[in-house]
Amino acid sequence: MTQHQGQVVLANGIKLPTAGIGEGYIECMKQNGEYQRIKITDVLYVPELKGNLLSVRKLTAKNFVVEFESSVCKITKRNTCVAYATESKGLYELSMSDTVITAKQYDEKNCIHTLYNRFGHCEPEAIKRLVHQATDFHIEPCSAPILCECCIQAKMHRKPFPKKATSTSAEILDLVHSDVCSPMQIATPSGNRYFLMMIDDYSRYTKVYLLKNKSEVPAKVTEYAKYIQTKFNKTPKVIRSDRGGEYTGDNLTRYFRSEGIQVKHSVPYTPQQNGVAERITILLK
């Protein structure tokens, strides 16, 4: 297999890079039950593709005849059936032996990229140390850098969150934290399985609303804002919550805009940014 830089476009428009091209052999079953060893050429190696695909266009270009009849596909050459496939879940699968594919490799460099894949994406420096200690093994020089997208994603991390807030509110209702507790296993006598919390950042005054469904959240948040306006003659300046759909609906968004209330949402999968509400949720559980 030789190195090959190209792309394969899937049906949904996603483009997958190719890493090599070569040839191989497959053992296909003919309609009489016998197996025949077939050589396939110009095989593209796509590491991110989990299945093996055979191009009808490539077969016909090499003088094969591909016939589709009902749920059976026959591949013939010079009036001789060399393989056939049966329909399964909308695709035609070749009938092959269990010893499926053997690949013929040629012009393959024993470079750091080859060993990187063989050793399960091991650290390149560790591979070099291993080879350095071996007397009968060497790595051929290669100028191309190793850029493995899978390893980059797997090793990504983020900085730790501060244990204390970097900014605090100066007055009541400058900032209100809100969160909805997930459905409880045991409902209240009235059938409530959720509860909504509204927590003032400055005083930590907490208002809890029992809910039967999450769809009641916009009405309860509106009710809380009106309650605060009547009791303290003030409107919450900022309401912080996660990015749940109950907080991002059109009705609630229009209400916040009409009342001049600023909305802040935490980053997805980052409950630490809404820590005040999250910690109280745990205590109430």
Residue 280 lies in a domain: yes
25 and 45 together in one domain? yes
CATH number of the domain encompassing residue 191: 3.30.420.10
Nearest CA to 112 out of 134, 131, 88, 98 is that of 131
Instruction: Match 């428009």 to its residue by tokens.
Output: 13
Residue 278 CA to residue 41 CA, distance in Å, equals 58
CATH number, domain with residue 37 = 2.40.70
Q: Which of 104, 127, 160 is the last residue of a domain?
A: 104
Contact 173, 187 (CB under 8 A): no
Tens of each residue's pLDDT in the chain, 285 residues: 576 778 888 888 888 888 888 877 777 877 677 777 777 888 888 888 877 888 888 888 888 899 988 888 888 888 888 888 888 878 888 877 655 444 444 344 567 777 888 888 888 888 888 777 766 667 777 666 677 888 888 888 888 888 777 777 899 999 999 999 878 888 999 999 999 999 999 999 999 999 999 999 999 999 999 999 999 999 999 999 998 889 999 999 999 999 999 999 998 888 888 888 888 877 766
Whether 141 and 202 map to the same domain: the answer is no
Do residues 237 and 262 make contact, with C-beta atoms less than 8 angstroms apart?
Answer: yes
* H runs (alpha helix) in 89-183: 112-118, 124-133, 149-154
> In this structure, are 182 and 268 located in the same domain?
yes
| Number of domains making up the chain | 3
Domain that holds residue 220: 176-284
pTM of the predicted model as reported, rounded to 2 decimal places: 0.50
Same domain, 133 and 182: no
Distance separating the N- and C-terminal Cα atoms of the chain: 59
